[in-house]
Structure 1
């Protein structure tokens, strides 16, 4: 009996020591992963800072994913420009309101939710059927849209019949000055710029810029079907360069995984947002 009792104590002590060891290793790996993520961010930032800021395209070095694997360490860096998206904070601009109307219509989102966005950001007076006080200031995060009653389908995407409609979270931002880079903007964003830009014309723009990135917004008229009238209507809201970039760093050290997201303003050379996941 004494032997069994002693064995039980030894086994428990061994188990506790193994658990403590795993805990210490986990903490060490997490710290190591964070420092690696910081170094990876500095690398990404240096690539952006050395890049030509006058024109940004999907052919640039920063737009290519980078992966590094050695021993038990894996690092992946993904960079995309926030200027490819539509900023939902320009609600007081009449021209941008037309873009929002096109966007919500194209995504099959009820226009009443657009009015909620205007009221929430203080662009117009009114009430919202929610249990929160109205902010009356610009969005700090896209996830505030959940407070306004937007459904998960509207935010993350939905299937209607045989057609998929992207969600707002995948094509909008709160971090830019509102300029949209036509060299990097996806099809749903291009279509929102003007109701005359349909799927066919948006695809032509994407195909054209793959071989001939736009050096100036005026180059859009070189795309067959794009008119000067369209250019005139959207010129205040487009550009061929980007200033704000999303740098996502994913690190694995052993069994420990860490993701750090940085929003980096290249013009100001500052991190304006950081999140550790």
Structure 2
């Protein structure tokens, strides 16, 4: 048997295996769809378990660092002047929140990502809810492999965010911020950089509104750019780049 025939036979074997796998998945949905959905719903309920909860005085630390493999992170306003951290997950999720050298370190100790087939195919891990008081101005560093970051409260300080797969959203962001996601969208309702800042995604759209007194530099390799209100005389520059996606700045 010559080499080309061996390659063809190997390709046929691989394609057959893939076809059988897809057929098995389809059969699972057709025959046992209800049971599968029940299992996924149960896992969804498990992820509502509080696996960590603690409150910190802002007098005890000066920086915040978050490092997780699979987690959504939501910042909300605090009502009592302290920082409160609540982590939702499954029973096998473990989390730590310790202050070391004036840095509040929030880390996932063990998190099992769940591959969801129903409704949408996504990784499902921890949900970290952090309540910060008004005027919270400590530097925040976030590193997440899979997950969305959402600031539902105003933040004006030094923010560094690195996401592999996930979206970033904020209602109001000031200070100096550098946001980067490999695959995901970036959306900021009110952007007020006081120092040079950057927004970058490899695959995704970027939308920023209410940017004032800022020089705006944008680049979309594959996509549309709609940039308005750049102040070229400003000493502060906001750099917005995407490899594949659209850019909209002050489009309102």
TM-score with structure 2 setting the length: 0.28
Higher strand share: 2
Structure possessing the higher relative contact order (Cα contacts under 8 Å, 6 or more residues apart): 1
Higher helix share: 1
Structure of greater Rg: 1
